[in-house]
């Protein structure tokens, strides 16, 4: 490199360095904003949901045309179900309408049980009982004169264990090989179904002789719920990319909105989850504070010194340091707030209504 080229290179490097440190200096000298996320004036959740419901949907004609095009695959999907495969639908948009339309159009000859995985809780035992009862009615209707075990039910299905129910669903009925019940699962990766134990049971249900599963997934990590045996042997999935671009109207009802106040019910639920993760002593300290607040609703809260005295008498804490560690944890999770009373003392207050606080104590058995 020539001398002139070296000079140009060094000048360019010097200019870059000078601009970098100048930008850092200017950035550091700027006054930082004192605004907090909690200062945002968010609206009530019900009000926000009402406003969202009035928003007109876009591309409705195109979405309907797309769903109509999927109808041409219904006969092939049914053929795969008859062959013993399960159907797993994935892709952007709610697939609830698609799955229900497939069931109403192509599964008229079969019983269909719907599981809404987007709900927070699902009673899987009751689902299996329903499947067993439906299969029993189908077999009994088609084989009225049959003898043997089919006409003898020793005990009602509701009193049987899960293993017994699954054994019945997996029974070999030679004359009824094509007699199956379809289980339609909206969001098999939903909050009510995504734990490991539930997925294992769903896989066992799917592998039963007289059960076929049609399910949808929406979470990008949903395949991590299953191992190789579950995917290829038990569920026996046929994967279909069926984006619908439809809004998650029904599924979204059961999740709190980010831009809205969660309301008392959501706040109570959040507090319960936090408290359940704490130590028994920490829960007992919180109970002392909650009981005082319920007994003295007109006060600003419970003075810190009074809380320490009560907790010390009940052997919940051994020192002020121990109590402070619990209080810090409560504050970090926004379980309590501090405010001053008329005497200038710092008082601790739980930001929940009396009804919500009583429900919280009952829910976690404090």
Residue 135 lies in a domain: yes
pTM of the shown model: 0.61
CATH number reported for the structural domain that contains residue 342 in this entry: 1.10.10.10
Same domain, 273 and 161: no
Same domain, 353 and 306: yes
Predicted pLDDT of residue 22: 62
Same domain, 109 and 161: yes
Written in H, E and C, the secondary structure of the chain is CCHHHHHHHHHHHHHHHHHHHHHHHHHHHCCCCCCCHHHCCCEEHHHHHHHHHCCCCCCHHHHHHHHHHHHHHHHHHHHHHHCCCEEEEECCCCCHHHHHHHHHHHCCCCEEEEEECCCCCCCHHHHHHHHHHHHHHHHHHHCCCCCCHHHCCCCCHHHCCHHHHHHHHCCCCHHHCCCCEEEEEECCCCCCCCCHHHHHHHHHHHCCCCEEEEEECCCCCHHHHCCHHHHHHHCCEEEEECCCCCCCHHHHCCCCCCCEECHHHHHHHHHHHHHHCCCHHHHHHHHHHHHHHHHCCCCCCEEHHHHHHHHHHCCCCCCHHHHHHHHHHHHHCCCCEEEECCCCCEEEECCCCHHHHHHHHHHCCC
Phi, psi torsion values for 5, nearest 5 degrees? -65, -40
Same domain, 224 and 137: yes
Q: Are strands 86-90 and 237-241 parallel, antiparallel or unpaired?
A: parallel
Q: Which of 111, 59, 103 is nearest to 78 (CA)?
A: 103
Same domain, 232 and 95: yes
Residue 35 lies in a domain: no
Same domain, 285 and 212: no
Predicted pLDDT of residue 57: 78
Same domain, 279 and 212: no
Residue 41 lies in a domain: no
What's the burial of 163, exposed, middle or buried (CB within 10 Å: 0-12/13-18/19+)? Answer: exposed
- Domain extent at residue 354: 264-365
Give the neighbor-by-neighbor strand order of the sheet with 302-303: 302-303, 346-349, 337-340
CATH number reported for the structural domain that contains residue 186 in this entry: 3.40.50.300
Same domain, 160 and 230: yes
Contact of 221 with 184, CB cutoff 8 Å: no
Predicted pLDDT of residue 53: 75
What's the burial of 234, exposed, middle or buried (CB within 10 Å: 0-12/13-18/19+)? Answer: buried
Structural domain count of the chain = 2
Q: Are strands 211-216 and 260-261 parallel, antiparallel or unpaired?
A: unpaired
Residue 337 lies in a domain: yes
**Each residue's pLDDT expressed in tens, for the chain with a length of 366 residues:** 555 555 565 666 666 666 666 665 555 444 444 555 455 566 666 677 777 777 787 888 999 999 999 999 999 999 999 999 999 999 999 999 999 999 999 999 899 999 999 887 888 999 999 999 888 888 777 766 445 555 555 557 888 889 999 998 887 654 555 678 999 999 999 988 988 999 999 999 999 988 999 999 999 999 999 999 999 999 999 999 999 999 888 887 766 655 555 555 656 767 777 788 788 888 899 999 999 999 988 888 899 999 999 999 998 988 888 898 889 888 877 889 888 887 888 899 898 888 888 888 887 665
Contact of 221 with 71, CB cutoff 8 Å: no
Q: Which of 169, 173, 178, 177 is nearest to 110 (CA)?
A: 178
Length of the chain in terms of residues written: 366
Give the Cα separation of 331 and 337 in Å (integer). Answer: 7
Predicted pLDDT of residue 289: 92
Give the Cα separation of 76 and 78 in Å (integer). Answer: 5
Same domain, 285 and 226: no
């Amino acid at each position: 490199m020539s001398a002139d080229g070296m000079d140009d290179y060094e000048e360019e490097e010097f200019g870059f360095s000078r601009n970098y440190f100048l930008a850092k200096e200017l950035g550091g000298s700027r006054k930082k904003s004192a605004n907090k996320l909690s200062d945002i004036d968010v609206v009530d959740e019900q009000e926000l949901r009402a406003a969202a419901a009035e928003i007109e949907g876009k591309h409705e004609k195109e979405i309907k045309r797309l769903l109509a095009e999927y109808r041409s695959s219904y006969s092939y999907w049914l053929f795969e179900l008859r062959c013993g495969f399960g159907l797993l639908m994935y892709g952007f948009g709610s697939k609830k309408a698609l799955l229900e339309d497939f069931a109403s159009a192509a599964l008229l000859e079969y019983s269909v049980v719907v599981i809404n995985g987007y709900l927070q809780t699902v009673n899987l035992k009751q689902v299996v009982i329903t499947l067993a009862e439906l299969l029993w009615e189908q077999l009994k209707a088609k084989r009225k004169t049959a003898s043997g075990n089919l006409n003898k039910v020793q005990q009602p299905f509701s009193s049987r264990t899960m293993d017994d129910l699954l054994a019945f669903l997996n029974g070999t009925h030679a004359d009824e090989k094509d007699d199956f019940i379809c289980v339609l699962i909206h969001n098999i990766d939903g909050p009510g179904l995504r734990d490991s134990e539930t997925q294992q049971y769903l896989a066992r249900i799917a592998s039963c002789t007289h059960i076929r599963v049609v399910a949808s997934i929406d979470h990008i990590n949903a395949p991590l719920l299953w191992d190789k045996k579950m995917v290829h042997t038990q569920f026996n999935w046929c994967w279909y990319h069926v984006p619908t671009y439809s809004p998650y109207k029904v599924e979204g009802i059961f999740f709190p909105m980010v831009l809205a106040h969660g309301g008392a019910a959501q706040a109570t639920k959040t507090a319960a989850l936090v408290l359940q993760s704490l130590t028994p002593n920490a829960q007992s300290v919180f109970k002392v504070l909650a009981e005082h607040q319920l007994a003295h609703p007109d006060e600003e809260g419970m003075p810190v010194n009074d809380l320490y005295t009560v907790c010390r008498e009940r052997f919940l804490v051994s020192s002020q340091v121990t109590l402070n560690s619990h209080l810090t944890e409560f504050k970090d999770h926004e379980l309590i707030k501090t405010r001053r009373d008329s005497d200038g003392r710092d008082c601790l207050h739980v930001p929940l209504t009396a009804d919500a606080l009583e429900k919280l104590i009952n829910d976690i058995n404090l």
